[in-house]
Every structure is written in C-alpha cells, then in structure tokens.
C-alpha cells in the first residue's frame, strides 16, 4: 500500500482527522468524503471512523452491537478469516474511482503480511508449509506456484495466479485492484506490479485519496528483471518484456517489448519457433547421449 502504513508497528494507522484531510480544500473540493466518517445504511446516525487496525472490529454506527459490520457487508475478495468491509468504498476501489484506503476495511492486509513475513524467513527450498499458508491469502493460487523470497503483497486476495507460475526473488505487487496472471508466466528478479495510483493534482493527492486499476498478464509471458508494470496495464499472450522496462500501456500478443516507456520491438514469429525448437532438440539429444553413457557404465 502506498498510503499511511505504520512501518514500525506494521499496522495501518489513521492519523488524520476528517477536518485535517479537508484542510486547504474547502473551497475547491467541498464534496470529498473524509477518512473518519462512515454512514450506516441501516440507521440515520453517523459516527467517527476511528482508524482501527485491521485486527480490530470496525463499526459503522454508535450502536455497534446492532451494526457490527458496515451494513452487514462482507469482503467479496477475502479468503477466510473475519472481516468488516465498507462495500461502497470497496466498489469504488475496484471501479477505478477515487476512494479512501483507510475506509475500505477488511483483514486482508494483516493476513497476507503475517503470512509473507513467515514465508520470507522460511527455508522454502526444504519446506513448502510457509508457502502453502501464503497461498491461502490469494484469490487463486495453484499447487505448482513457485515464489522465491523475499516477496511483498499488499493484500493477496486480489491476486490470481495461473498454472506453472514462477517468480524469482523480490516480486512486489500492490494489489489494491485485481492482478491476474495466465498460465506459464515467468518473472525475473525485482519486478514490481502496481495497481494503485494517486491524483496528479497535488491538492487532491494530499487528501490521501487514491485510485486503483487492474493489471492483467496473459499466458506464456516472460517478464525480465527490474520491470515495472503500472496501473491498468494488460499484457497479452506469448509476450517477452525486456529487462528494466516500465510498462505504461497495453502490450499486444506475440511480441517482444522493452524500454521506458515500454514499446513493441518486434513480433515473435516462425523463425523464433524454429530456432528454439532446434536448440531444444539438441538438448534432448544431449540427454539421450548422457543416458546411454551411464547405461554403458562409462
């Protein structure tokens, strides 16, 4: 998450009051919702949103015994655990509209941070148990998922991995919106995928409002090291993204793309297939020779 996380405590903190968020903006943006008030649709009362940590229950009206959740909403993206989600804020977030991160609620941030901390400290090459626990935090994560720590995910429950997914060390995904991977995706070290963005206008940006747009990666994609993928990008099928690229626009199928900003360099064609099939056949021949040598006892 890009906003207001307490780095020392590891918990989200809401340190600004609604009045503070509005400061300097009253004339220009009188209709921006504050981060500290939430209206319950089941009663006419409105109470201060205290910015509770994700492990604490958040109520949407003073009579929290009657309204223990935001109007009874459940997190559509959560994967287990208990949660209290502001459905309207959630819908704005996934719809690409301005929203207040501190008002979304839910327990996904705390769950995935706990799980990834354990995974990052694990002997992953000997024991998959920490990875299996982390997999429970994702929207979709097949059994053959391979991640090399350290990894960082904001929520996890908005990420869908396809089959035969491999990510080398230091994968970072800020999944405020959905991030969807196809099958057979290879990711090199130090790749960052962002769905979160902030207003260009400084006055609006300083209110801590943000937006989030989904990222999609197709089937049979190889993403080189130190690539950054920005919010709203869709990468097609059978694509290679060159190292160090900053992907700001959609990339079509069957191409090699690279650069800052990333652009199509050339198509992947029949010549590529023939060249690499020849390399593959040579390797198979090498394995066969090795096998015959071992069978002869040499």
pLDDT in tens, 237-285: 999 999 999 999 999 999 999 999 999 999 999 999 999 999 999 999 9
DSSP per position, 143-181:
TT-EE-S-EEES-STTEE--SS-EE-S-EEEE-SS-EEE
Are β-strands 234-235 and 215-217 bridged in parallel, bridged antiparallel, or unpaired? parallel
| Residue 226 resides in a domain | yes
pLDDT value at 77 more than 80: no
Query: Total domain count for the chain?
Result: 1
pLDDT value at 297 more than 60: yes
Share of the chain above pLDDT 70, in %: 71
Range of the domain at 149: 138-271
Q: What is the pLDDT of residues 119-151, one digit of tens each?
A: 999 999 999 999 999 999 999 999 999 999 999
pTM metric for this prediction = 0.74
- Hey, which residues are catalytic here? 198
pLDDT value at 17 more than 90: no
9 CB neighbour count, 10 Å cutoff: 9
Mean pLDDT, the chain, rounded, equals: 79
| Residue 151 resides in a domain | yes
| Residue 1 resides in a domain | no
| Residue 120 resides in a domain | no
Range 42-66 average pLDDT: 34
| Residue 237 resides in a domain | yes
| Residue 42 resides in a domain | no
pLDDT confidence bin for 66, thresholds 50/70/90: very low
157 CB neighbour count, 10 Å cutoff: 28
pLDDT value at 64 more than 50: no
Residue 86 near residue 105, CB atoms below 8 Å? yes
| Residue 295 resides in a domain | no
Closest by CA to 151, choosing from 212, 108, 193, 107, is: 193
- Model pLDDT, residue 293: 86
Range 160-165 average pLDDT: 98
| Residue 31 resides in a domain | no
pLDDT value at 96 more than 80: yes
- Model pLDDT, residue 169: 98
- Domain with residue 267: its CATH number is 2.160.10.10
Range 99-118 average pLDDT: 96
């Amino acid at each position: 998450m890009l906003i207001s996380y307490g780095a020392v405590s590891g918990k989200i903190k809401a340190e600004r009051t609604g009045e503070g968020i509005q400061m300097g903006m009253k004339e220009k943006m009188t209709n921006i919702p504050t981060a500290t008030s939430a209206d319950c649709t089941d009663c006419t009362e409105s109470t201060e949103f205290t910015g509770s940590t994700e492990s604490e229950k958040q109520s949407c009206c003073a009579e929290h015994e009657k309204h223990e959740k935001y109007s009874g909403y459940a997190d559509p993206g959560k994967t287990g655990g208990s949660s209290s989600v502001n459905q309207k804020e959630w819908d704005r977030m996934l719809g690409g509209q301005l929203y207040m991160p501190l008002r979304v609620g839910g327990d996904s941030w705390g769950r995935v941070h706990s799980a990834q901390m354990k995974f990052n400290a694990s002997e992953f090459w000997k024991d998959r148990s920490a990875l299996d626990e982390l997999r429970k935090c994702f929207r979709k994560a097949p059994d053959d998922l391979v991640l090399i720590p350290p990894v960082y995910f904001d929520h996890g429950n908005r990420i869908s991995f396809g089959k035969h997914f491999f990510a080398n060390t230091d994968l970072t995904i800020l999944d405020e919106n959905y991030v969807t991977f196809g099958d057979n995706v290879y990711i090199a070290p130090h790749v960052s995928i962002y769905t979160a963005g902030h207003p260009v206008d400084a006055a609006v940006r300083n209110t801590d409002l943000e937006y989030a747009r989904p990222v999609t990666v197709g089937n049979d994609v190889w993403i080189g090291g130190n690539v950054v993928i920005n919010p709203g990008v869709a990468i097609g099928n059978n694509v290679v993204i060159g190292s160090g690229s900053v992907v700001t626009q959609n990339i079509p199928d069957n191409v090699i793309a690279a650069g800052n900003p990333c652009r199509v360099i050339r198509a992947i064609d029949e010549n590529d297939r023939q060249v690499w099939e020849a390399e593959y056949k040579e390797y198979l021949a090498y394995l066969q020779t090795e096998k015959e040598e071992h069978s002869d006892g040499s």
